[in-house]
Amino acid sequence: MIVTLLIRLLQMLVLIAFQVLVLNHVHFLGYATPMVYVAILLYLPWNANRVGTLFLSFVMGLVLDAFSNTPGLTAASMVFAGFIQPYLLHAMAPKDTVEDMVPTYRSMGKWNHVRYVMLIVLIQQVCYFLLECFSFYNYRELLLTFAGSYVITLVIVLALESFRNRNS
């Protein structure tokens, strides 16, 4: 259990460092910024403590907010995605799932896992961008930023999962 906790902590630190040092400075076509830190929520096990999931989401979001100068945006969107994550996982996981199942292509099936990733990323991104703009005044720019960031984030997260799947 302590080893698993240390592995999760190391994964969280790597994702935060990658986001802060590299991805926060990448803006495709001036709009899309990848936000791969949401991947930490995707790989929490089936039987993860819900309070622990929310706490992990909040702490990660708060640390990213501190480094990204976005007070509360990342924390709020991560907590909301962390709140929804167990329900989506239970809805999309196979019915004969073991208690400590970690969501991967192998454990959930390829299509169920891709849908699960798409929905978690979508929820986090929608929450983030709606809180960021807090209006629909520039709805075209909001849609461009959201769509671009969603697609880029989704591609990177699925590529990371594919890479992770090959090495395990």
Q: What is the pLDDT of residues 24-44, one digit of tens each?
A: 888 888 778 899 999 888 888
Q: Are 160 and 36 in contact (CB under 8 A)?
A: yes
Q: For residue range 97-126, what is the model confidence (pLDDT) as tens digits?
A: 676 777 777 777 788 889 999 999 999 999
* Residues 79 and 38 sit within 8 Å (Cβ to Cβ): no
pLDDT band for 63, please (50, 70, 90 cuts): very high
Structural domain containing residue 63: 2-167
Number of separate domains in the chain: 1
Q: Which two tokens stand for residue 5?
A: 């906790």
User: What global pTM score does this model have?
Assistant: 0.88
Q: Is 69 exposed, middle or buried (0-12, 13-18, 19+ CB in 10 A)?
A: exposed
Interval 140-158: pLDDT, tens: 888 888 899 999 999 999 9
Residue 96 has pLDDT above 90, yes or no: no
